[in-house]
């Protein structure tokens, strides 16, 4: 008669610890999902669902003036945009506007950040004052600059007349080129402080030992900027480029209050056409298509920024 099998050996202490660790990790994961579940549901309801619904609307012919004529038309709204000469003209205007605003913002923000990073009397007060334009809403910003550029009672005309630089008051916003550049300037003035804050935060993380060593090696100001400052600012510079590009593409309130998209279509960027199509003409299908075109352009340009800066340094995204 065969002898009974020996009882199974108890699990080794290492196996018990591994199982206990796995069980604790699984319970921690479930607990994390349970605690973050309400926030995820709210986030999906407030962000993901409206975004998805706007894309769904862009695939329909939906005009509030003809509510009974709503139907699915696929990508016809997007094809209609590329056949519209008004959209193509606004696309060129938007491209020039974005390039001008982003380049001016980056250059001026870099200069101001370098100045505010130095130690001098009243630096804290100047840093605080630099935040004021950023705290101003876009509508108020447009109203302020429209008052300054006014052809009859504008402060700019009064100042230039007192200085003897002009003989009579000028209508600065009546010419297409003047309106375009002054609108870009107003947009830069409004968004510049945020870029300065980001670059200033990046400058504060650079070890002073690097500059001391560079001075010992007799490196000049431009060499220190190119070899030390600029590589350390790649991450905040990337954030500035992406956010300022998004702001320039979506710059509606300042432009609408300042020029209304005119004169003619000199300042009629895509965001202005988007709001005008959706709210004035109540064409929500075509207006949603405008929104997704802006999103696509912003995404493509942002990926280009990341690809360009990633080859020059490493940063956390």
Its pTM stands at 0.82
Q: What is the CATH number of domain 77-310?
A: 1.10.3720.10
Do residues 187 and 251 lie in contact, with contact meaning Cβ atoms separated by under 8 Å? yes
- Residues paired with residue 71 on neighbouring β-strands, in sequence order: 61
Gap between the Cα atoms of 268 and 280, Å rounded: 15
User: What's phi and psi for 227, nearest 5 deg?
Assistant: -90, -25
Token pair for 9: 């050996």
Per-residue model confidence as pLDDT tens for the chain (317 residues): 455 555 555 555 555 555 555 556 567 778 878 888 888 888 888 888 888 899 999 999 998 888 888 899 999 999 999 999 999 999 999 999 999 999 999 999 999 998 888 888 887 888 888 888 888 888 999 999 999 999 888 899 899 998 888 888 888 899 999 999 999 999 999 999 999 999 998 888 888 888 778 878 777 778 888 888 888 888 888 889 999 999 999 888 999 999 988 888 899 999 999 999 988 889 999 999 999 999 999 999 988 888 887 666 543 43
> Domain locations in the chain?
14-48, 77-310
Gap between the Cα atoms of 91 and 270, Å rounded: 6
Residue 261 DSSP label: T
Gap between the Cα atoms of 113 and 201, Å rounded: 9
Token pair for 155: 């402060």
């Amino acid at each position: 008669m065969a002898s009974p099998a020996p009882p199974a050996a108890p699990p080794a202490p290492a196996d018990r610890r591994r199982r206990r660790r796995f069980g604790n990790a699984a319970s921690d994961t479930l607990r994390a999902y349970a605690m973050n579940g309400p926030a995820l549901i709210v986030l999906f309801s407030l962000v993901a669902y409206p975004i998805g619904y706007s894309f769904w609307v862009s695939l329909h012919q939906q005009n509030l003036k003809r509510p009974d004529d709503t139907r699915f038309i696929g990508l016809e709204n997007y094809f209609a945009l590329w056949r519209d000469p008004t959209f193509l003209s606004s696309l060129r205007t938007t491209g020039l506007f974005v390039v001008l605003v982003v380049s001016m913002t980056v250059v001026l923000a870099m200069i101001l950040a370098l100045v505010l990073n130095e130690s001098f009397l009243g630096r804290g007060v100047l840093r605080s004052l630099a935040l004021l334009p950023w705290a101003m809403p876009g509508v108020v910003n447009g109203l302020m600059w429209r008052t300054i550029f006014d052809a009859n009672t504008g402060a700019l005309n009064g100042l230039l007349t007192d200085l003897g630089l002009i003989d009579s008051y000028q209508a600065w916003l009546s010419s297409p080129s003047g309106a375009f550049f002054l609108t870009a300037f107003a947009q830069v003035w409004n968004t510049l402080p945020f870029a300065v804050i980001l670059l200033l935060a990046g400058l504060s993380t650079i070890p002073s030992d690097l500059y001391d060593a560079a001075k010992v090696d007799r490196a000049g100001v431009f060499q220190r900027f190119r070899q030390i400052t600029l590589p350390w600012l790649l991450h905040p510079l990337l954030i500035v480029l992406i956010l300022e590009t998004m702001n320039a593409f979506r710059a509606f309130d300042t432009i609408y209050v300042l020029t209304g998209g005119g004169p003619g279509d000199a300042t009629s960027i895509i965001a202005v056409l988007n709001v005008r199509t959706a709210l004035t003409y109540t064409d929500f299908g075509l207006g949603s298509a405008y929104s997704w075109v802006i999103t696509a352009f912003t995404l493509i340009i942002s990926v280009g920024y990341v690809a360009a800066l990633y080859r020059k340094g490493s940063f956390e995204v």
